[in-house]
Structure 1
Amino acid sequence: MQNQLPAEHDVAPCLSCAPPNHDDIRAQLERIFSSCEFPKVGRSAAFLTYVTEEALAGRAERIKGYSIAIEVFKRREGFKQDDPVVRIEAGRLRRTLERYYLVAGQNDPIRIDIPKGGYAPSFVWNKEVPASSDERLPTLRQRLQKLMPFGLGAAIMLGVVMVALAVSAYLLPTRLGSTSQGSIKEGPTLVVAPFANLGDGPQAGLYTAGLTEELLTALPRFKEIRVFGRETSKSLPSGVEASQVRGELGARFLLAGGVRVSGDRIRVTARLLDTDNDEILWSQTYDDDIKSGDLFSIQSDVANKVATAVAQPYGIMAQADVSNQAPDDLGVYGCTLSFYGYRAELSATRHLDVRECLERAVARYPSFATAWAMLSIIYLDEDRFRFNRNTSGSPPINRSLQAARRAVQLDPDNTRAHQALMTALFFHQEVSEALRVGEQALATNPNDTELLGEFGTRVAMSGEWQRGAELLDRALALNPGGAGYYHGTRALAAYMLHDNKTAVIEIKQADLQKFPLFHAVAAVIYVNAGMMDDARREAFSFNEMRPDFIPNVVAELKARNFRPADRARLIADIRKAGLPASDEVQASMLWRPQGSAVLVPR
């Protein structure tokens, strides 16, 4: 005989009670669906119903992403597992249930959850598993009160241990199988709708299908975003509404467009929509002459341009997310946004905040390659920029290399991981290997402007100023709103190439007032441009911010792999700007007391 559903006020934690029966669970399911806290659009209800009924039928072990995709999302047989639709919807459902039990379902008799690491649901009496850490406090307090007869000190000590265990269980990473990137709340999700065929004849149809395929190849190379796979795109009509994409798939962005062929001319229109409000965030038109190139080259070029515009760091999707980011959002994706915000400013204050955020992220999600790559760059900045150096552990350059190598091991196709490894190797004085890694990464994703700018910087500082300038020009052309850091390096390249006009223009566009080295580069540029008042002002600001640099200027420039002739020129112009920089001959003749050492920052 099935046990009767207890009254809500009678429900109490009882590990020995019988589990909820089928009728109890189905009644709870209806209670959840009827609540205003549960979304009435999308597939959440169908998802939860399917996994619940499968579990009640004794088939919990057969609940897999593939079966959910077929039964709930109506994918065809042969569904490819690279389509993240099930993982994304499962994450949304978990958050929906968590919110429901925190708000409307606090006193519901039964708790239904989808534990991470799988899709099979769990069913327990609500008070057995607290919905939040706050609900644990009365239980702990009650246990302490029971222990009071054995002594206040013992009770307090046991309470401290129990709290520590609870906190550690919450903060420490879960088992490896449940820390995959699919379980991380990663950044913006994008659906590519099939581009509409607006022309006549077989060429238009062929080009339209090919362009959509090229986009689905180019976009996933940007690891900061999640792109729904080919099966999802093929299942949508070309004119799908943004609200439908939001409701059924939960994607934040929709990329759509059309192709028109007329004679020898082909025109592609593309637009990115915010599915929250149907706002067009970006649109562009691309015109080509079919006679000037084959269709495959044209569609590849257009796809790369579209992907670069919308998906790159500092691109359209990132800008939209930054503008909507909650001030207190310290989630994993919040860390990546903060990282790019730091790179645009390069200040010690933001460096510390981002380092702490990323360290928490990799502790909780140790398989998240992008976070490891970003942390590698942050560790390196402790050394080369003297930002918040942590002296309690291994040297920053060692931590930077370790983090970069871990990122590459976790995700060999991750552009940010290779960028981090390239940069760490460069400052580890392994210049040839660093540039080799950079060349390979650029061949993999030539449209990632963060990589392109960093690689151009490394090439330039190693002495190839002309090629470095060309790479930086490409990065800035693809992403005019990119980091000021790359404008600053482009200014330095122009200075080295004796192009004073470009140097002045670029250093003013950099405008990194909180970054000490910006002022040093500005000083030597203004010296060459004959702007001596500006040069002395910038030199004074630099020396105020980095008083350790000038006494060790030769070592500093060597650490950055400047060639001897380039070092000599920089030191001469620093001296013209008013700072007492010693050249290499003078530096080698400086007397040092027995046992002393010259500080060699990087």
Structure 2
Amino acid sequence: MLLNTQENNELYKYSEKEIVGELHLILSSQLFARSTVLSNFLKYIVHETLDNRTENLKEYTIAVNALGKSSSFNPQVDAIVRIHAGRLRRLLNEYYTSNGNSNTIRIEVVKGTYVPVFRPRLEYNTNNVSENEKPIKQFSRSKLTLAVLPFRNLCPNNDYQFFVDGFGEELTRIFSNFQEIAVVAHYSTRKYISEPEDIRSIGSDLGAHYLITGSVKRSTHEIRVNICLVKTLDGMQVWSQTYNNPLNLDTLIDIQDQIVNEVCSLLGGFYGIIIHEDSKTHRKTLPSIHSFDAALWNYYFHMNFSLEAYNQTRQALEEAMVQSPNYATGLAMLSELYLDAYSLGFPTVDEPVLKAYELAKKAIKIDPHCQYAYQEFAWANIYLKRKEEAIKAMESCMALNPSSVSAMGAIGFGLACVGEYKRADIMLTNSLDLNPNCPWWFFLGFFLARFKAGRYKEALIYAEKIEVPDVFLDPLTKVLAKAELGMVEEAQRDLKNLTQNFPEIVENLEEHLSSFLLDTEIIEKMVQGIQKAQRATA
């Protein structure tokens, strides 16, 4: 039997034996061996597809046949299938960027469907260059590097050149404020304004991993700006956006500022599109000692918070700091990692809070303009129960680069943890509006605010978005919201998960919550909520 799927107008064919073989490789990996639920989910949808029964791949049939739910299961009430589908997509992505990165077939579950697709592993061969092509030079950077090419002027008679030139200069200036990304000076890119070349060649000439390109055109009544982000490794377009505005000479500078700020918010920062994309490209099975790879591992850990990712990230960061002891951002990342481990019950250093505090303070001393350092200095003060000092550090953090939506979200979550819920809600909302590639704990910030206010339906919505099976806050938030809403049966399932997988945390819940929450009222309310769920179970 052959299975056909369509992708990029090319037909790929795999035998059932090849696909089943790939499925067995996935299920036998350490990642999937730890999750019977996700293994059963994947096995079911693959075999149903191979048997040409894709019409059966609905929430109800998956819940009953793969997840063991009863025939009374109602997908309109219980979102468990959608939740596990999201976890499955992330775990497959993790598998194919680690153990399965050399497999010839990729099994994927595209968002919006439960039907798996079977794709080839795409490779890029830099040695396959024709005689007429310019050879691609290899380059090495210790930091993720971006270059902004001059925008093309497509306006009649090349008018509004000042407006066109301003994009390259402003984007370069603002991106230079993001310490996660190195930016090539704009004057170094000027020669490409009239010498179009292969994007890969330009990237290797400039030593840039990513390029921003754009164009400006106008009609009688409208001005249009097209902007793209391109990966120089393979010349593939990662992101693009078109901005249309009424043509008014008096407002052109305001239009430019608005577009530039939005682009920088979407692409820049620790959770922006550039680092999000690059983490998928450069993540390897074993961490590297280079600070560049250590930073990417740190990003990866914060998007899923698994114990395995923590161990790899810690090794990468600690080795990076041995080689680069004055790397301020690395010191801040390590400070954050020790605090996270302390809260989650992962193995960490002796006196992690004091160690994290000293690392963050050292980072600020080395680089007083390091935004990440102030962010972690704020968190260290939260763990030390110093609310005013924490808020002061948060304000200093945002003052360094107000365009960083990553910092905005992190500070928003910090404000929720110290009990400043209204300010937290504003910052988290603004951050999420500008960049959806956020870690799960942004949603925890929203949950805390809703739960404290007694808005339990909204709290449950955000609890369902917290999908981190290795973290006790995943089942905890779901138990709390469901118990308050009278969803006894559903709350019992999450409570069972919580007590079986995190028994020590349940026994000392108040202590664990108080390690990062300064609002004693919400801690008491959360502890009472668990006790309420336990009584209902008994």
Structure 1 length-normalised TM: 0.62
SS of the residue aligned with 1:268?
A: strand
Does the residue aligned with 2:238 lie in a helix, a strand or coil? strand
Q: Note the alpha carbon deviations across 1:471-515, whole angstroms, 9 max, x for none.
A: 112222222132112123222322223333332222222211111
How far 1:190 moved relative to its partner? 1.5
Matched position secondary structure for 2:180: coil
Could you tell me how far apart the structure 2 residues matched to 1:524 and 1:238 are? Answer: 61
Equivalent residue for 2:212, pick from 255, 278, 288: 255
Q: Structure 1 pair 280/577, CA: closer, same or farther in 2 (3 Å)? A: same
Distance 1:260 1:579 in 2: 66
* Aligned partner letter, 1:251: A
The equivalent residue for 2:323 is 364
Q: How does 1:539-558 map to 2 (within 5 A)?
A: 539-558=495-514
- The Cα of 1:579 is off from its aligned counterpart by 7.1
**Is 1:210 aligned to 2:166, yes or no?**
yes
Counterpart CA distance in 2 for 1:542 and 1:43 is 53
How well do the aligned residues superpose, as a CA RMSD in angstroms?
A: 2.7
| 1:196-255 Cα distance to aligned partner (Å, 9 max, x none) | 222248972222222222101111222222210122133331673313313422322211
Q: How does 1:449-528 map to 2 (within 5 A)?
A: 449-528=405-484
> Quick one: structure 1 residues 320 and 549, their matched pair in 2 at CA, closer, same or farther if it must change by over 3 Å?
closer
The offset of 1:404, in angstroms, is 1.0
User: Across the two proteins, how many residue pairs are aligned to each other?
Assistant: 402
**Of 225, 229, 253, which residue of structure 1 is paired with 2:185?**
229
Asked if the contact 1:494–1:500 (Cα under 8 Å) also holds between the matched residues in 2, the reply is yes
Equivalent of 2:332 in 345, 351, 373: 373
Paired amino acid for 1:363: V
Matched letter for residue 340 of structure 1: Y
Report the 3-state secondary structure (helix = DSSP H, G, I; strand = E; otherwise coil) of the residue aligned with 1:235. Answer: helix
Aligned letter for 1:380?
Answer: L
Q: Any conservation in 2 of the 1:490–1:506 contact (CA below 8 Å)? A: yes
Given candidates 257, 262, 270, the residue that maps to 1:305 is 262
Answer whether contact 1:492 1:525 (CA < 8 A) is retained.
no
Q: Equivalent of 2:301, from 342, 358, 371?
A: 342
Deviation per CA, 1:150-203, whole angstroms, max 9, x where unpaired?
xxxxxxxxxxxxxxxxxxxxxxxxxxxxxxxxxxx4233211111122224897
Q: Which residue of 1 aligns with 2:18?
A: none
Q: What does 1:67-466 correspond to in 2, within 5 Å?
A: 92=139, 185-200=141-156, 204-237=160-193, 240-241=196-197, 242-263=199-220, 265-289=222-246, 294-325=251-282, 326-330=284-288, 331-391=290-350, 395-466=351-422
Instruction: Please list every run of 5 or more consecutive structure 2 residues that lacks an aligned counterpart in the other structure.
Output: 1-128
Larger radius of gyration: 1
Q: 1:43 to 1:549 in 2, by over 3 A?
A: closer
Deviation per residue, 1:515-572 (Å, 9 max, x gap): 1122212211112232222222223322333333344444444433443332332222
Q: CA deviation at 1:401?
A: 0.8
Q: CA deviation at 1:329?
A: 4.7
Matching residue's letter, 1:372: L
Q: Report the Cα offset of residue 43 of structure 1.
A: 11
Q: How many Å separate the matches in 1 of 2:231 and 2:411?
A: 32
> In structure 1, what is the Cα distance between the partners aligned to 2:233 and 2:521?
56
Structure 1 residue 418 displacement after superposition: 1.8
Matched, 1:572 2:528: yes
2:72 match: none
194-203 or 470-479: which moved more?
194-203
Separation in 1, partners of 2:441, 2:245: 34
The answer (yes or no) to whether the contact 1:382–1:390 under 8 Å persists in 2 is no
How far apart are 1:327 and its partner, in Å?
A: 2.6
Q: Distance in 1 between matches of 2:456 and 2:154?
A: 49
User: What amino acid does structure 1 have at the position aligned with 2:285?
Assistant: P
Shift of the 220–550 alpha-carbon distance from structure 1 to 2, 3 Å rule, reads: same
The 1:314–1:269 alpha-carbon spacing in structure 2 relative to 1, beyond 3 Å, is: same
More deviation, 503-512/235-244 = 235-244
Q: How far is the alpha carbon of 1:292 from its aligned partner?
A: 11
* SS at structure 2 position matched to 1:367: coil
In structure 2, how many angstroms separate the alpha carbons of the residues matched to 1:429 and 1:191?
A: 42
Q: Which amino acid aligns with 2:275?
A: A
**Contact 1:485/1:512, CA 8 A, preserved across alignment:** no
Structure 2 counterpart of 1:549, one-letter code: I
One-letter code aligned to 1:327: T
Percent identity of paired positions between Structure 1 and Structure 2: 25
Query: Any idea what the Cα deviations from partners look like across 1:105-131, whole Å, max 9, x if unmatched?
Result: xxxxxxxxxxxxxxxxxxxxxxxxxxx
Q: Secondary structure at the match of 1:285?
A: strand
Q: Does 2:493 align with 1:537? A: yes
Q: Is the 8 A contact 2:444 2:466 kept in 1?
A: yes
Cα distance in structure 1, aligned partners of 2:535 and 2:143: 46
Q: 1:348 to 1:285 in 2, by over 3 A?
A: same
Q: Deviations over 1:359-394 (max 9, x none)?
A: 110011112112111100011123222210334xxx
Structure 1 CA distance for aligned equivalents of residues 345 and 505 of structure 2: 10
On the 8 A contact 2:287/2:297 being kept in 1, the answer is no
Q: Which residue of 1 aligns with 2:49?
A: none
Q: CA deviation at 1:345?
A: 1.3
* Contact 1:195-1:238 at 8 Å conserved across structures: no
Map Cα deviations across residues 83-111 of structure 1 (whole Å, 9 max, x no partner).
xxxxxx9xx4xx7xxxxxxxxxxxxxxxx
Comparing 192-201 with 265-274, greater Cα deviation is found at 192-201
